[in-house]
Structure 1
Amino acid sequence: MFVGIVAGVFPPLQSAFNGQLRVEVNSILLSTFISFFVGAILLALILLSTTKTIKIPTLDQNGQRLPWWLYIGGLFGILIVGGNIIVIKELGSVLTTTLFIFGQLMMAVSIDSLGLFGITKRKIARNQIVALSVIVLALFFI
């Protein structure tokens, strides 16, 4: 839980930095590219310094071919970063982050309740529905 909280500190920072980068370079696409390019270079350096190689696996631990959709997480990253770059200047950090969290929760509920993408299917509890309703109400106040 602590790691989740710490990781949660970074999306608003990323949105603020990338939103200002958009203003400075006057381009949503270029600021999104720069964000990913810097991240990819840093990650490649860390990976090379720790594992000495970058190998993209195509088979799982049992020798079965990995599903194609496992490789498209970067596409979602582009949509997340690009979307935040588009809205943060107009909506501000609090509303952007709240909407971001709401979108995450709605998708998380869908994934859990339907058991999508290999995630164990879980029934959505009444308290979770109440919590999501409170978040929707909070959006109106924000």
Structure 2
Amino acid sequence: MKIIVYVLALIAGMSLSLEAAIGGALGENIGELESTYFIFIIGAMATFLIALFFGKGDVKQITKVPRWQLIGGVLGVIYLAFLIISVNLVGVGTAVTAVIIGQLVMSMIVDHFGWLGTPKARFNVNRLIAGGLLIASLFLIL
């Protein structure tokens, strides 16, 4: 069963690279921030339709959740806008590699301290080596 999760995560990563390239191209034509806006609008409409027909949650609970749980949308805008800007400056491969390094570093910090309700996974030598190899990959892909 875990293999399905890994395949889905792999597909998600591949989708991000395509999104970066598409957003970069759109950004060159209409502007980076405008591109970010339209990508989010189209994504919101698609998510609305998917949730409408397949969602099993209770959106009414949104008023009862801690406010910090709503910051994801802002972080998504920051991520996408900076990605689109960097793609147009350094290319998809370099930009996405830097994004992956940022994701890994922050993920290890969140895991180590168990922030935001996640299970703790202590920082260790293997994680240090993995981070170092990813940083080396950034220099190799330049």
Q: Does TM, normalized by the shorter one, top 0.5?
A: yes
How far did residue 52 of structure 1 move? 9.5
- Secondary structure of the structure 1 residue equivalent to 2:123: coil
Code of the residue aligned with 1:21 in structure 2: it is L
2:84 match: 85
Residues 133/22 of structure 1: CA separation in 2 closer, same or farther (3 Å cut): same
**Higher mean Cα deviation, 131-140 or 91-100?**
131-140
Spell out the pairing of 1:90-129 with structure 2 (5 A cutoff).
90-129=89-128
2:3 match: none
Q: Distance in 2 between matches of 1:122 and 1:53?
A: 29
1:3 match: 8
Spell out the pairing of 1:61-76 with structure 2 (5 A cutoff).
65-76=64-75
Identity of aligned residues (%): 29
Q: Distance in 2 between matches of 1:53 and 1:131?
A: 36
How far did residue 99 of structure 1 move? 0.2
How far did residue 8 of structure 1 move? 1.1
Q: Does 1:57 align with 2:57?
A: no
Q: Distance in 2 between matches of 1:113 and 1:52?
A: 32
- Residue 47 of structure 1 contacts residue 54 of structure 1 at CA under 8 Å; is this kept in 2? no
Code of the residue aligned with 1:140 in structure 2: it is F
Q: Distance in 1 between matches of 2:128 and 2:107?
A: 12
Q: Distance in 2 between matches of 1:33 and 1:88?
A: 16
How far did residue 20 of structure 1 move? 0.4
The TM-score with structure 1 as length reference comes to: 0.88
